[in-house]
Structure 1
Amino acid sequence: MSDAQIVVSGLTKVYRTVRAVDDLSFAIEPGRVTGFLGPNGAGKTTTLRMLLNLVTPTAGEATIGGRRYADLEQPLRHVGAVLEASSAHRGRTGRNHLRVICAAAGLPPQRVDEVLSLVGLTPAGKRKFKGYSMGMKQRLGIAAAMLGDPDVLILDEPANGLDPEGIRWMRDLLKKLASEGRTVLVSSHLLSEMQLLADDVVIIAAGKLVTQGTMGAVVDGLADAARIRVKTPNPEQLTSALADATVATADGDELILTGVTAPEVGAAALRAGVELHELVTDKPDLERVFLELTAGKAGIR
């Protein structure tokens, strides 16, 4: 795979009085899966459309391997994109749909069978598109995106319509493609799945960058906000023994504490003679980090 870094620099899109994307900058590296996240209306789809030259930026630019998508020769050989579930003539088979794309793009016809196998649609390739489920349409869209064996793959909500087995298949496929040196950019609302899939993450809200970095760095950025969940028949006595702790919630014999570590809770309980039935550190996950970072930053479209 060649160098296929995606660079978004000062990207802005204004629709009349609405700034859908506002001076957005980030870089996506080859050989990694990057999750592109944000609330509804954050500007994710507009950004992807500008990256693919489907929407003209008001300011700034987006490049793939140092060039605009519109300037790429034979773009399907460089970039595969799925911005919505695949659409095709209802009476055409999945295989024939891909053959038409190959013919139009000057791609070798044998790629059709190769990509059908890649996405697990070989038996369904002979079926007409009108009989495809949403999950099958998603797979067909990815097959179409892979026809040119591109260096870059850009997917918007690729797991829509997939069952749990299909989502796992998608995760394994995208990780494999990234391991081959490709640049994989995925927009999704499935935060738990994204935490399993992505190496890096870019989070935007109201058209602006909120944070970016490796998945570990972004999630661990709230490590100091880890919560301690403790169950004890003497919650008031334990609270009194923890002068530096803050009680986030209290429900019967269960306390959620912040500002203190699990060893500190255990030591305080021992000194105070308080019996503990449970002591757990609830570390932040991507969903919690996402919600905290985007709180109050409503979408704008």
Structure 2
Amino acid sequence: MSDGQIVVSGLTKHYRNVRAVDNLSFTVEPGRVTGFLGPNGAGKTTTLRMILNLVTPTAGAATIGGQRYADLAEPLRHVGAVLEASSAHKGRTGLNHLRVVAAGAGLPRQRADEVLAMVGLTPAAKRKFKGYSLGMRQRLGIATAMLGDPKVLILDEPANGLDPEGIRWMRDFLKSLAAQGRTVLVSSHLLSEMQLLADDLVIIAAGQLITQGPVDEVMGSMSGNTQVRVRTPQAEALTGVLAAQQATVTPGGDGALLVTGVDAPTVGRAALTAGVELHELTTERPDLERVFLDLTAGKAGIR
């Protein structure tokens, strides 16, 4: 088993009458960014806390490199985690906050300067924490997680509070960590961003696994939602031709036609045969937001 592989096996957590996590199993591989998705109340944060032994499971287990987090020697050198915006003494500077954490973990003092530079906070190193914006606190949290140069990074909603430039920075930074062979597990509600960031997806709802796998496979599993967008000045003629091929044609809101049941080459051939002029012919595949909503439709967040 790889040092950086996360294995969640039959993980379950009951709170009185609520099953927050219900027999959940999945793996997270090194060298990849894994997006951990689910509706509000799906059990994502509870799962991350059980992986980090901050919450005791009712049943099941979670390991990192074959060991429970609590059993890791020098855990900060193995796992970096940010489960909420960084907190620190309000009167302490970002640099001193990192130096205190480094000292407590037996890490070199200069590591604080290195991770500040890594997350772009060097200009704010000597500013007090109380003056940090939410986005700066997120970056400080990432810096704290990276102090031990860990092989595994676990982040819960790391883009909260970041502006578009910060979100792009976060994407590039996490991708670079995965490219170094590290394991990166990220939960997020920003589905459009996750489509750009993640290599793999784990989607849960009501504490149970809905699907997992590479992004392309998860998106491909919903290929039945693919449609062809076509624009023509002869909409009625094209609609009649396509109806004869068992295609379904519906008008789009902007004057285009949306076609399901056949692919774009079939639409093009039908138009050519019928002498219909086309101004646009595009295949539209569902984005991650649509796939996510379809996969989790009707599944309550908390039971």
Task: Using structure 2 for the length normalisation, give the TM-score.
Answer: 0.95
Within 2, Cα distance between the matches of 1:113 and 1:296?
48
Equivalent residue in structure 1 for 2:279, among 256, 265, 277: 277
Once the 2 structures are TM-superposed, how far is the Cα of residue 127 of structure 1 from its aligned partner? 0.3
Confirm or deny: 8 A CA contact 2:78 2:148 kept in the other structure. yes
Runs of at least 4 residues off by over 4 Å = 248-252
Q: Aligned pair 1:126/2:131, yes or no?
A: no
Residue 154 of structure 1 and its aligned partner are, at CA, apart by 0.2
Q: Is the 8 A contact 1:220 1:284 kept in 2?
A: no
Change (3 A) 1:221 1:108: same
Cα pair 2:233 2:278 within 8 Å, conserved: yes
Aligned residues: 300
Change (3 A) 1:264 1:108: same
**2:260 equivalent in structure 1:** 258
Q: What do residues 24-70 of structure 1 show as CA deviations (whole Å, max 9, x unaligned)? A: 00000011111111111111001001101111111100000111111
Where 2:259 maps in the other structure, the secondary structure is strand
Gaps of 5+ in 2: none
Distance 2:192 2:90 in 1: 34
Aligned residues: CA RMSD = 1.5
Q: How does 1:186-197 map to 2 (within 5 A)?
A: 186-197=186-197
Matches within 5 A, 1:136-147: 136-147=136-147
SS at match of 1:256: strand
- Match for 1:282: what amino acid? E
In the TM superposition, what is the alpha-carbon distance from 1:164 to its structure 2 partner? 1.1
Shift in alpha-carbon separation, 1:18–1:198, aligned structure 2, 3 A: same
Q: Which amino acid aligns with 1:166?
A: G
Provide the residue aligned with 1:45 in structure 2.
45
In the alignment, residue 214 of structure 1 is paired with which amino acid?
P
Out of 9-18 and 246-255, give the one that drifted further: 246-255
Shift of 1:258: 0.9
Give 1:6's aligned residue: 6
Separation in 1 of the partners of 2:253 and 2:30? 48
Residue in structure 1 matched with residue 18 of structure 2 by the alignment: 18
User: 2:210 is aligned with what amino acid?
Assistant: V
Tell me if structure 2 keeps the 8 A contact 1:77–1:148: yes
Structure-1 residue corresponding to 2:248? 246
Cα offset for 1:251? 4.6
Question: Does 2:294 match 1:268?
Answer: no
Answer whether contact 1:234 1:253 (CA < 8 A) is retained. Answer: no
Listed as ranges, the gaps of 5+ residues in structure 1 are none
| Secondary structure in structure 1 of the residue aligned to 2:153 | strand
Contact 2:227 2:258 in 1 (8 A): yes
Structure 1 stretch 188-197 or stretch 150-159: which is displaced more? 188-197
Amino acid at match of 1:283: R
Q: Supply the AA of the counterpart residue of 2:65.
A: G
- Give 1:228's aligned amino acid: V
1:72 aligns with 2:72: yes
Checking the alignment, whether the CA contact within 8 Å between 2:95 and 2:125 is kept in structure 1 is yes
Letter in 2 for 1:284: P
1:286 is matched with 288
Supply the distance in 1 between the matched residues of 2:89 and 2:20 (Cα, whole angstroms): 32
Q: What's the TM-score once normalised by structure 1's chain length?
A: 0.96
Distance 2:253 2:61 in 1: 52
| Contact 2:156/2:188, CA 8 A, preserved across alignment | yes
